[in-house]
Homo-oligomer: A and B are copies of this chain.
């Protein structure tokens, strides 16, 4: 971001005698857009988190209806943790919070743990959940980088 602002300052200097006013307006817009992080900046990651949260809820509920629920116990536990974190991460990103990156780091860890557990089970909901967790972990890692 620093580079952008330097570039804008430079332009500001070189243009000030010609179309100073127009430049001022457009540079303000650029700066506003640069600092107005939120839904549009993080859209891909927010969408991955929200999809993952919904599929984790679905997976947890579906696990309770399996024949061998005991085998699904760890999956249910991680689904619940993952859904809670994914939604919190999506909220903080949508709000443009300073803490968005930090929560995405934790979210990525939980998504990985949940995805690994889900991938052990052959049920459709677990396979689908493993895939959603994997994608969400990737997006959250990019965010947190």
Please determine whether B36 and A62 come into contact, CB atoms closer than 8 angstroms.
yes
Within 8 A of B (CB), among A73-129: 73-74, 76-77, 80-81, 83-85, 87-88, 90-92, 94-97, 99, 102-103, 106, 109-110
Q: Which of A38, A61, A65, A70 counts the most B-chain CB atoms under 10 A from its CB?
A: A61
Chain B residues, CB < 8 A from A39: 54-55, 57-58
CB neighbours (8 Å) of A77 from chain B are: 61, 64, 95
**Residue from B36, B53, B55, B92 in contact with A65 in the complex, judged by beta carbons closer than 8 Å:** B36
Q: How far is the CB of A52 from chain B (nearest CB, A)?
A: 11
- Whether, in the assembled complex, A136 has its beta carbon less than 8 Å from a beta carbon of chain B, the answer is no
Q: Is A5 an interface residue (CB 8 A)?
A: no
Judge whether B81 and A80 touch: CB under 8 Å: no
State A39–B60 Cα separation when bound (angstroms). 11
Please pick, from B76, B80, B99, the residue contacting A85 in the complex, using a CB distance under 8 A.
B99
